Amino acid sequence: MKPINPVLKVKTFATKHSIALSEKTIARTEEAGGFLSNIADVFLFITKIIRETFTRKFEFKEFFRQCFQIGYKSLPLISITGIIMGLVLTIQSRPALVTFGAVSMLPRMVSISLIREMGPVIIALICAGKIGSGIGAELGSMKVTEQIDAMEVSSINPMRFLVVTRVIAATIMIPLLVLYADALGIFGSWIGANIKGDVSFVLFSSQAFGRLTFMDFLPAFIKTFLFGAVIGVVGCYKGYNAGRGTESVGIAANSAVVLSSLLVIIVDMIAVQITDMIQ
């Protein structure tokens, strides 16, 4: 039996190692290319939405139907969430304020916390779970059953009919839901204040809104439009670009919730930094 040449053994090992490294490099390059391709697809999708929004043939009937679906049918969940937000915040904050003898600051503290941060973010996350998943699942099922392809064959623009109406409806209705939840949060705070105290609703409201300024309300209200746009765009993108299998409907709904919730938090962080620089 001939002895193995050490030089040949080293060359063989180096060749195998270089092949493994090249395969890993190719895999990483493909992942990076796929990520950049997805970003480009998202920007093209947003561009199509903007272009179709300002066309003359706007689908008003479908838009009002989506406003009903997104806004009115979300009221029970938003109502419960708003009341519980104010109630829990009051119950948790009251003992600390009692210690320092500052119970009179409770209405103002709760109102500022709800209007500036807690109300918009929590309601946006709730809407990302309910509305984002609903849009993703609905459009995903239409993609799987080839209804979107049938609309294109029938000379109906699915981007204008399905996507634009849902994005604009979410952009408009979510700020209104946030205002509604903030009002119910103040009411829930009044209920919490009366659990261990006795204060009239008129006095509580005057203390809550007496020192609020326009800059307390405006930045929080503006960013709710961004939250609505993010939730609508992400839900539509994931559903509109779902795969062909039935399991892709669940994947589209799940990824829509996860991504829209993450983007809501990121947008809120950016909005807070901008607001802080302005003030």
Which tops the pLDDT comparison, 241 or 34? 241
* Residue 30 in this model has a pLDDT that exceeds 90: no
Instruction: Evaluate if residue 159 carries a pLDDT over 80.
Output: yes
Predicted local confidence at residue 12, as pLDDT: 55
Q: Which residue has the tokens 């839901």?
A: 177
Please check whether residue 233 is in contact with residue 46, taking contact to mean a CB–CB distance below 8 angstroms. Answer: yes
Could you tell me how far CA 59 lies from the centroid of its own chain?
Answer: 24
- Token pair for residue 8? 């040949």
pLDDT at position 31: 57
Average pLDDT, the chain: 84
Predicted pLDDT at 179: 93
User: What b-and-e string marks burial along 27-49, b requiring 16 or more CB atoms within 10 Å of the CB?
Assistant: eeeeeeeeeeeeeeeeeebeebb
What is the C-alpha separation between 239 and 143, in angstroms, rounded? 7
> Element (H or E) spanning 43, and its range?
helix 6-53
104 Rama sector, left if φ>0, alpha if ψ -120 to 50, beta otherwise? alpha
Three state DSSP letters for 209-227: HCCCCHHHHHHHHHHHHHH
Q: Residues 216-233: pLDDT tens digits?
A: 888 889 999 999 999 999
Structure confidence at residue 13 (pLDDT): 47
Give the mean pLDDT of 14-25. 54
Q: Do residues 139 and 162 touch, judged by C-beta distance below 8 A?
A: yes
Nearest-10 Cα torsion for 56, 59, 64, 67: -90
Q: What is the pLDDT of residue 10?
A: 46
pLDDT above 90 for 34: no
In the predicted model, is pLDDT for residue 75 greater than 80? yes
Burial class (CB in 10 A: 0-12, 13-18, 19+), 69: middle
- Rounded to whole angstroms, the Cα distance separating 93 from 77 reads 24
Q: Look up residue 135 and give its two tokens.
A: 């849009």
The pLDDT, as a whole number, for residue 279 is 65
Task: Locate all alpha helices (DSSP H) within 71-200, ordered by sequence.
Answer: 75-99, 106-113, 119-127, 133-144, 147-153, 158, 165-193
Q: What is the mean pLDDT of residues 21-44?
A: 65
d(CA 128, CA 235): 9
Q: What is the pLDDT of residue 177?
A: 95
Q: What is the reported pTM?
A: 0.83
* pLDDT at residue 234 tops 90: yes
Q: Of 29-33, 53-57, 75-79, 109-113, which gets the smallest average pLDDT?
A: 29-33
